A and B are shown apart, each in its own frame.
Chain A
Amino acid sequence: GQQVMQIPQYQHVQEGEDFTTYCNSSTTLSNIQWYKQRPGGHPVFLIQLVKSGEVKKQKRLTFQFGEAKKNSSLHITATQTTDVGTYFCAGIEGSQGNLIFGKGTKLSVKP
Chain B
Amino acid sequence: DTAVSQTPKYLVTQMGNDKSIKCEQNLGHDTMYWYKQDSKKFLKIMFSYNNKELIINETVPNRFSPKSPDKAHLNLHINSLELGDSAVYFCASSQDPGAAGDNEQFFGPGTRLTVL
Chains A and B are bound partners: yes
Taking beta carbons and an 8 Å cutoff, which residues of A are in contact with B?
Answer: 33, 37, 41-45, 48, 86, 88, 92, 95-101, 103-104, 106
Cβ-defined contact, B45 with A45, below 8 A: no
Q: In the assembly, what is the distance between CA of A45 and CA of B94, in Å?
A: 11
Q: In the assembly, what is the distance between CA of A81 and CA of B47, in Å?
A: 35
Q: How far is the CB of A95 from chain B (nearest CB, A)?
A: 6
With a CB–CB cut-off of 8 A, which chain B residues contact A33? 104-105
Given contacts A86-B41, A96-B98, contact A42 B110 (CB under 8 A): yes
Q: B68-87 interface mask toward A, CB cutoff 8 Å, 1 = contact, 0 = none?
A: 00000000000000000000
Cβ-defined contact, A103 with B90, below 8 A: no
Q: Which residue of B42, B98, B103, B107 contacts A42 across the interface (Cβ within 8 Å)? A: B107
Q: How far is the CB of A65 from chain B (nearest CB, A)?
A: 14
Q: Which residue of B40, B48, B92, B110 contacts A98 across the interface (Cβ within 8 Å)? A: B48
Q: Return the chain A residue nearest B109 by Cβ.
A: A42
B97 touches A (CB below 8 Å): yes
Cβ-defined contact, A96 with B90, below 8 A: no
Q: How far is the CB of A92 from chain B (nearest CB, A)?
A: 7
